[in-house]
Structure 1
Amino acid sequence: MQVYDIHIDQQMKETTQHGSLDFPFAIYETQLNKNVLGFVNWHWHNELQFCYVVSGIIMLYINNEEIILKSGQGFFINKDVLHMIKPFEIPDSKYVCINVHPTLIYGSPGNVIEQRLIRPFIQSSTLTHCIFSPETASENQILLQFSKMNSLYTEGKYGHELDILISLLTVWKEIIMIQKQKLPIVRAISEMDETRIKALLLLIHNRYKDKLKLKDFSDEVHLCSSECCRLFKRHMGCTIFEYVIDYRIEKSIDSLVFSDLSISQIAYDCGFGSTSYYIENFRNKTGMTPLEYKKSLCSKK
């Protein structure tokens, strides 16, 4: 299933329910140029995420790193970790994403699997992500399991849930064995910086409709304006106001899809100073005007 957009709350948490309560597991295919912004914007989630690149090249932004991943490579993203994915040079780059809640792996809370083999890793501040390449034997086995899970999920045959669980357990064992052999990874973002980033994001999400000024952000985190800008750019990969525009566009899409408001009213409601400025930024991000985007959705219904 192609993902066109992800829904996040004011704290950047993805709100999509992946799978169901009785089987919290889902697989999505994302061709990045089909996403509304042409990339997957910053977010985090409670689920563990396993991905592999099907075609093209992608850039993973995570833990203050920019990681280039080519077709055949894969990666793991731990729960509660902010990340963003963009195409690298090839706009229609495609990857498969496997989302699973940890409870599917460990079952009953408090058991030895959870306490010794799951919880210490998913709560570790050093394990934000892993990268897998087919050239390394143990990592290639993980990538093969990713592909196997995708096939099992797509075919949906009787008993596929058990086969998926077996693959998940195999993958998780490989990951923790690899991690135990490695030296601790120091997070590139300090706890203080992460707290400040989350405060800035919350400010944007609560006040995106307002006419925001740089002083609003620097005051929020008790830094001078220049240091506030450097902090945000360093950890988010874009300027504060680039992020504000992206967020306003994402919020405007809800109004385009679910309301009959005029383009001018949507522009005003989402914090854009003028309709023309809104249209210009929308076109820059999506390749079409808001009205063209709305009509394209109607034609698909």
Structure 2
Amino acid sequence: MKTSKTGKTQIITNPSQKELKEHGSYPFPFLVSYESLSGYDTGSFLWHWHSEIEFTLITEGRMIYQVNDRCFLMKEGEALFGNSSTLHSGHMADETDCEYISITFAPRLLYGYEGSLIQEKYVAPVLHHRGLAAIHFDSSEIWQEEVVEGLRNIIEESESRRPFYELRIQEQLLHIWLLILENCSVEGTECRSIDEKNYERIRCMFSFIQENYARKLELEDIAQHVHICKSECCRIFKNYMKESLFDYILKYRIEQSLPDVLDGKDSLTEIALRVGFADSNYFSKVFHRVKGCSPREYRKRNSMLM
């Protein structure tokens, strides 16, 4: 992550939307982050992915959290498991802020070294499970309450930095992993190979859009980039991302315009052309549809919060 010129947070990704932030260090690949949706330029965190596993605990408010093709309405006190290499995004559920804590770690913190029995028998089956892209812990069952309590213990240990805290964190992570294995069906399911092929196509679409959003984009260009026909391109994106490819492009352009809108130095026409719109009227219309207000209202509203 980095801070934008508006003073807010941005998730930095490569063209395929892989997050470039380092989660911990090589000796101890683990990180606890305290976040709020209002802390982002866009009031949400946009689609990205990383190889690390991530648990998210909501501490205040509500969030609509999407992992691959699944959406979750998360409330205060609830948590979510996001599997390795899954695409995920989150935004406010009711235009009010949401505060949350992310616990992110490399899978090897669970199994030690490549090829170990723990990796092959207990970790890899979950990482490759097509039905376990995400797990919502709403404390409706006792074991889910244990998971949430384990996450709170991990956060406490990370804050305290008392002697042996790394061992206690690893112990809690292994306990949570055991709860998942004991309570979620892992065996006898297909791996994520088919899904991964399509998600790789989606990542390529993301990459193409990120590099070309400022110019006129044709569906044929995107389809050719991922080597599929136009109808298949639209079908895959809509099926997995739950929105049309065209709507995503418009929303992406609006999100890219926000720093300049907040800055207020350039005209709406200049900003619109910079992010791929043909004119300021259409830009303002789409902006209102996406953000619920005009660009000027958005700047005024956010300037009072800065």
TM score, norm. by length of structure 2:
0.78
Tell me whether 79-88 or 41-50 shows the greater mean CA deviation: 79-88
Match of 1:222 among 224, 228, 244: 228
Secondary structure of residue in 2 paired with 1:238: coil
C-alpha contact (below 8 Å) 1:57/1:90 kept by paired residues: no
Match of 1:237 among 238, 242, 247: 242
Offset at 1:153? 1.3
Secondary structure of residue in 2 paired with 1:210: coil
Once residues 170 and 32 of structure 1 are traced to their aligned partners in structure 2, the CA distance between those partners, rounded to angstroms, is 29
Unaligned stretches of 5+ residues in structure 2: none
Once residues 241 and 68 of structure 2 are traced to their aligned partners in structure 1, the CA distance between those partners, rounded to angstroms, is 9
For 1:104, the equivalent position in structure 2 comes to 109
For 1:35, the equivalent position in structure 2 comes to 40
CA shift in 2, pair 1:111/1:224, >3 Å = closer
Once residues 166 and 117 of structure 1 are traced to their aligned partners in structure 2, the CA distance between those partners, rounded to angstroms, is 15
Q: Deviations over 1:69-107 (max 9, x none)?
A: 222221101101112212212521222111001122222
Offset at 1:269? 5.5
Matched, 1:75 2:77: no
Offset at 1:123? 2.6
For 2:52, the equivalent position in structure 1 comes to 47
Secondary structure of residue in 1 paired with 2:42: coil
C-alpha contact (below 8 Å) 2:42/2:258 kept by paired residues: no
For 1:7, the equivalent position in structure 2 comes to 12
Tell me whether 267-276 or 2-11 shows the greater mean CA deviation: 267-276
Secondary structure of residue in 2 paired with 1:79: coil
Offset at 1:26? 0.9
C-alpha contact (below 8 Å) 1:127/1:185 kept by paired residues: no
Matched pairs, number:
296
For 2:178, the equivalent position in structure 1 comes to 173
CA shift in 2, pair 1:282/1:26, >3 Å = farther
Tell me whether 196-205 or 132-141 shows the greater mean CA deviation: 196-205
Unaligned stretches of 5+ residues in structure 1: none
Secondary structure of residue in 1 paired with 2:10: coil
Once residues 269 and 241 of structure 1 are traced to their aligned partners in structure 2, the CA distance between those partners, rounded to angstroms, is 18
Once residues 181 and 229 of structure 1 are traced to their aligned partners in structure 2, the CA distance between those partners, rounded to angstroms, is 31
Match of 2:166 among 161, 165, 168: 161
Alignment of 1:201-212 (within 5 A): 201-212=206-217
CA shift in 2, pair 1:276/1:159, >3 Å = farther
C-alpha contact (below 8 Å) 2:58/2:76 kept by paired residues: yes
Offset at 1:39? 1.3
For 2:202, the equivalent position in structure 1 comes to 197
Q: Deviations over 1:226-267 (max 9, x none)?
A: x644542332233324433444466667999xxxx9788876
Once residues 197 and 119 of structure 2 are traced to their aligned partners in structure 1, the CA distance between those partners, rounded to angstroms, is 29
C-alpha contact (below 8 Å) 2:125/2:186 kept by paired residues: no
Tell me whether 235-244 or 176-185 shows the greater mean CA deviation: 176-185
Matched, 1:126 2:127: no
C-alpha contact (below 8 Å) 2:130/2:195 kept by paired residues: no
Once residues 155 and 118 of structure 1 are traced to their aligned partners in structure 2, the CA distance between those partners, rounded to angstroms, is 28
Letter of the aligned partner of 2:103 in structure 1?
I
Letter of the aligned partner of 2:237 in structure 1?
F
CA shift in 2, pair 1:285/1:24, >3 Å = farther
For 2:141, the equivalent position in structure 1 comes to 136
Q: Deviations over 1:266-290 (max 9, x none)?
A: 7666545467877887786598969
